[in-house]
Amino acid sequence: MKTFAETLVHMLEDFGVRYVFGIPSGPWIPFMEAIRRSDMEFVLVSNEASAGFMADICGRLTGTPGVCYGTFGPGATNLSTGVANALLDRSPLIALTSQVSTGMKNRTTQMKIDHQALFQPITKWTTELSIENLIEAVSNAFTIATQETPGPVHLGIPAELGEIPVPTSCTQALVSPAEAKPLPSKPSAELLQQIEQIMQSARKPIVALGLSVTRANAQDVVRQFIEKQGLPVILTPMAKGMVSEESRYYAGVLFHALSDQVALTHSEADLVIAIGYDVVEFNYEEWMPNVPLVHIDTTSADIRPNYDVYNVVEDIRQTLEAMVQFPKFDNDWCIEEIQDRKDQLFANLSPDTRNFSPHHTLNILREILPRDGILTCDVGAHTHLIGQIWKTYQWGNFIMTNGGSSMGFGIPAAIAAKLCEPNRTVACVTGDGGFLMMVGEMATASRLKLAVVFVVLTDRNLQLIKIKQERKDNPQYSTQLYSDAYQPADCYFGVPVLVARNAKEYRSALIKAFEMNAPVIVEAFVDPTEYDNLILKPHKVEI
């Protein structure tokens, strides 16, 4: 008979898991040995939050839930940051934690917290494993994590289980998540006819793309629909790449830099066709005029009741394939004007400044990083700029967090992206605040010999908070990251640092970094002044 640890690891392999991220503990040793003898790999991280972020990215890029591990108490609480982020970013993930032994469950003991109570509000499902429920619970976990809307599942493992044999009577054939998923449904003919009539009567319909459409395998049909109808399209940040910035219909990203210029287009709309729009990024009311809404998603629209909403809660791709068959409707948009606005938007994102500014770092990186390279992005003032200025070309080439929006995301995301896509060029852009949170993962990147270029935009402040303080006429307070004595390091945990203080030095440093075929940090000392003009208050339409 196989042990509990061997059985669990065998199941993870059968479900297609390649990596388990975490920090081991005593009860995890049998599982470590089972992983060592498997085709999977246990990836030691520096902080359990990183393990959650890395599992999140594996889930996004492969479709198979990423797996992460944390031990009793603080291991689980650290892990919970990455797990909660996956919940809000809609990423399939399995979180494993060691729990106190069954005999101590109702006793007071070291490091004991209630893991089910901890993970219940930040997962789709949480349960405690046992010999009897192991097969069924793990199978259910993969099904639940991957079903719409995808997200994390937590499985608690009592400390004594690892080496206990699992009787043959407790095993059964595995059911793959694909087999367990309900078949996607097509919209009814009546519903399609209603949508067609609504579109036909609108004069300025606009398309809004959101996070859910990225899971629908629908990029080709999305573009067909937009181009056939000749409609401008706006995107949430996590849908970047679904329509290329080079498209003549591209109108910009909501709520990122210079969002008032993007609003020039969407404020004119008399119909919004929202495809896979998940309000976990931005609520409709924050930008949408009070016009009819066709909401095509896997869940109904979350919107105030005074809006006229047509919910199409069906398979997104099949719905779009049917809508592509609609006749071409006339509209009053001037696409040349949309293009002019886009051109002006990108011009304004790169102002003519003498000082070495964040937009210089991004534009130069865009020139050097291959079009199919992967860029991950952390959270901070730079996120607002990069979300608008970065040309993505294809969905999946740009990885960020917006539903969860956790600082510290960018570095572990880049490490996981390189593990999942070893043949693609990977870079990360982070502010110095996010870098300080996850600098320990440089040891992980170095140990794994992962060729990732980490660009750190050093402005010595939590710049986004500083801007918000100033806009309330408050003095800057407690946002300075370094003392005046700060000097850049030569390396962090074996990862070399190349320093750049102007555009010329930065370009040379980037070229050298990518040629090194190893983890490298490029620390760019930037003037953050341009953020003041680029990061605007969210545009709201009066209703």
- CB–CB of 71/78 below 8 Å? no
Output the pLDDT for position 195.
96
Establish if 543 belongs to a structural domain.
Answer: no
Measured distance CA(155)–CA(152) in Å, rounded: 10
Nearest to 427 by CA among 394, 393, 463, 378: 378
Report yes or no on 541 lying in a domain. no
326 shares a domain with 193: yes
At residue 507, does pLDDT exceed 70?
yes
The answer on 292 and 270 residing in a single domain is yes
Domain tally, the chain: 3
The reply to whether 222 and 161 lie within a common domain is: no
One domain for residues 25 and 61? yes
**Can you tell me whether residue 167 is helix, strand or coil?**
coil
Asked if residue 166 and residue 220 are part of one domain, the reply reads: no
Given a contact cutoff of 8 angstroms between Cβ atoms, the answer to whether 54 and 74 are in contact is: no
Residues 395 and 527 in one domain: yes
431 in a structural domain: yes
540 domain residue, yes or no: no
Find the farthest-apart pair of alpha carbons in the chain and give their distance in angstroms, rounded.
73
Per-residue pLDDT, 464: 87
Given 341, 370, 392, the domain boundary residue is 341
pLDDT band at residue 537 under the 50/70/90 scheme = low
Domain membership of residue 211 (yes or no) is yes
Residues 147 and 279 in one domain: no
What CATH number should be reported for the domain holding residue 283?
A: 3.40.50.1220
pLDDT in tens, 458-484: 999 898 888 889 889 999 899 999 888
The pLDDT, as a whole number, for residue 183 is 58
265 lies in the same domain as 145: no
Q: What is the tens place of the pLDDT at every residue in 356-399? A: 999 999 999 999 999 999 999 999 999 999 999 999 999 999 99
Whether this prediction's pTM lies above 0.75 is answered by: yes
Same domain, 290 and 427: no
Q: What is the mean pLDDT of residues 290-308?
A: 96
Same domain, 155 and 220: no
Angle between helices 219-229 and 316-323 (to 10 degrees): 30
Round to whole Å and give the CA distance between 246 and 362: 17
| In a domain? residue 539 | no
Q: What is the CATH number of the domain that holds 358?
A: 3.40.50.970
Final residue of a domain: which of 324, 341, 358? 341
The token pair that represents 477 in the structure block: 């307070």
162 and 267 belong to one structural domain: no
Interacting residues of 107 by C-beta distance below 8 A, sequence separation 6+: none
- Tell whether 446 is covered by a domain: yes
Q: What distance in Å separates the CA atoms of residue 259 and residue 387, rounded to the nearest whole number?
A: 11
Q: What is the pLDDT of residue 396?
A: 93
In a domain, 409, yes or no: yes
Q: How many CB atoms lie within 10 A of CB 500?
A: 24
Last residue of a domain, one of 161, 180, 199: 180
| Domain enclosing residue 445, as ranges | 350-534
The SS3 assignment for 495 reads strand
One domain for residues 196 and 220: yes
DSSP 29: H
The confidence score (pLDDT) of residue 534 equals 85
